[in-house]
Structures are given as C-alpha cells and as structure tokens.
Structure 1
C-alpha cells in the first residue's frame, strides 16, 4: 500500500531537511575567554566566561555567551546558546553584503560597507570574526567607540540584521524591482 503525502507536507519536510543541513554545517570561533569571580560568604568563587561566534559560512551567524567552572563547559554552553540565536543575512554572489549599514550596541558603533571582489575582510577585533564565520568575504568595516569585544560583536550583528535584499526593499516600498534600477 502506497501512502500519498500532500504537496504542502512535502514542502514542509524539504524545508526542515534544508534547515537541518545548514545546522549540521555550523562552525564556531572563540573570541574571548575571561576568568570572572563572584564574591560569596566564604571568599571568591572563580568561573570562566566564554564568548563564541557560531555560523555556517552561508549567511547564518549568532553569538553565544557561556559561563561555567571550567573553560570547556563554558565554551560548550556558549556554542549551544549561539545555535539558538542564529540569524540569516543576505549575501551577494561576490560574497559581500548588500548595502551600507551601521550597527549600534552600547557605546560601540560599527560601520559596514560592501566591497569589490578580492578585497577581503578589512575589519578589526571581533568584527572580522563575525563576518568570516557568517560567510562574508569582501567587506570594509570600521569600529567607533568602545573596544569591548562582546559589544563590537553585538553591534556587528545589529548591523547585519538591518540588511535587506532588493526583493525585500521593493516589497516594503510597494514598487516593481525594475523601477529600483532606474
């Protein structure tokens, strides 16, 4: 007996399979491990905080922060939290971002500009790590304000969240794509 599956259910299964394939290819990069302490009645309790960038080199990227008594547990917690907070960003064929954006987090300001093919990732600090893990290969970036690694990574993510494709811009403006090119 052959079971007939409705077309809608097949599409849902394909979508889930594609999403699972992307999640399977996830890589991570540790950007900071810090020893932190908490003052308790008996003295100081030491633990470690790990900041990890998680991504799939195809437009998926996220930041995870984990805290534990040893470094490996902190990193593993950060990776699992980062996987839960993945965002998708649009990347062009030349592996660059679609347009100029600015990201703000705390007192950190990050400016991201698309660049021509072959120029590479011109960025410093944790901004470079976020962009490379996300799969962006050609971009110019500048960090203004705070030098905090975590805040600059979060500001970069805030900027990347603002990216839109041409189709999305045309849809929000209620115009045809052809009229955007004129």
Structure 2
C-alpha cells in the first residue's frame, strides 16, 4: 500500500524539530574556497520519542532537511514519569562531553543549557535539571545526553527485568526510605 503525500505530511507533522547548530565549512581548491554547511537537528514528538541528525550540503536549507530526515530515522523512546520528568538521576558521556540529568519536582521547568534544552523540549520533558560537565561542543553534548537518556529505566522495566511486580519494587523503595527516616529520628 503506497502512502500518498498527504499521509506523509500528517505523519511528519507530529514531530517538532529544533536546529541546534549550523556550521560553515570550507574546502580549499585550486580556484579558491568551496563553502558548504553542516547542520545538527533534534526531532521529537513531545511524548517520549526523540532523535538527532546531522546533514551536510552546499546550501543551508538542504543541510537542515537532510539532518531532519536523519533524525527521524534514529528515534529513541524514553520512559517519562507522569509524562513530565525523568524517573531517576542519570549521567552520560561521549568523548569529552559529560552530562548529569536529574529528575525535578513539578513546576521546576527545564534548567539546561544549549543543545540539552533542545533535546528536552522536543522530548516533552517539562521538569528537569541538567548540567554539562565537559565540553561545550554541541555534537558531543547531544551524544552524551542521548547516552544518558538510553540508560533511563521506568519501574515497569526494572520489574520486568527482575521478574517481579511493579508494586513490589515501589513498595520496597518506600520501605527503605522510611527506614532511613526512622533511623535518623532515633539518632
């Protein structure tokens, strides 16, 4: 069954894309310099799926289009708590890029810089605190952020891996925090 252009537009309209970086690159040839452009784009559906892509071309719009297509091919699914934040704190790294992502209470907003902010906005996260600890290179920051997001687990995923019920895992975590509070009260 072939999809018409109208169906393709409807499917693509569910995604939000953000241009993270555009870079002008030069190739030196006999007659002078040939300029090209490299674009880095983040694409997401604001419901837990996000991807990034890189595209190069002689013109800026073509580079952005290529990067957007590349991003849509490499989408990942990230579990979100209450559809607004992360389930737990996580760190990621790629090359010299290191990032720390922390879950935040409702109303905090997105506290993150540059490329990480674009990832969270397209992912649909509303409350998160993030810190870049390494390089400010947008490519490495994005890759480190994706490394961290791929490590994110929901209680359901942990329960499935352990062969238990979600209620057992959540109850155990509450008991452990209650014991610590009781021990602190006794001291």
Moved more, 39-48 or 29-38: 39-48
Structure 2 CA distance for aligned equivalents of residues 74 and 101 of structure 1 = 32
Structure 2 alignment gaps of length 5 or more? 1-8, 173-187
User: What secondary structure, in the 3-state scheme, does the structure 1 residue paired with 2:87 have?
Assistant: coil
Moved more, 144-153 or 91-100: 91-100
Deviation at 1:22, TM superposition (A): 6.5
Please tell me whether residue 172 in structure 1 is matched to residue 155 in structure 2: no
Moved more, 93-102 or 71-80: 93-102
Please show how residues 87-106 of structure 1 align to structure 2 within 5 Å.
87-93=76-82, 95-106=84-95
**Count of residue correspondences:** 163
Structure 1 alignment gaps of length 5 or more? 1-19
Deviation at 1:42, TM superposition (A): 4.0
User: What secondary structure, in the 3-state scheme, does the structure 1 residue paired with 2:125 have?
Assistant: coil
Q: Which residue of structure 2 aligns with residue 8 of structure 1?
A: none
Moved more, 108-117 or 170-179: 170-179
CA contact (8 A) 2:99 2:132 kept: yes
CA deviation string 1:38-68 (max 9, x = no partner): 2334443210011111111001111111100
Coordinate RMSD, CA, aligned: 1.7
Q: Which residue of structure 2 aligns with residue 163 of structure 1?
A: 152
CA deviation string 1:81-106 (max 9, x = no partner): 00001111111215001111111111
TM-score norm. by structure 2 comes to 0.82
Structure 2 CA distance for aligned equivalents of residues 38 and 83 of structure 1 = 29
Structure 2 CA distance for aligned equivalents of residues 25 and 144 of structure 1 = 33
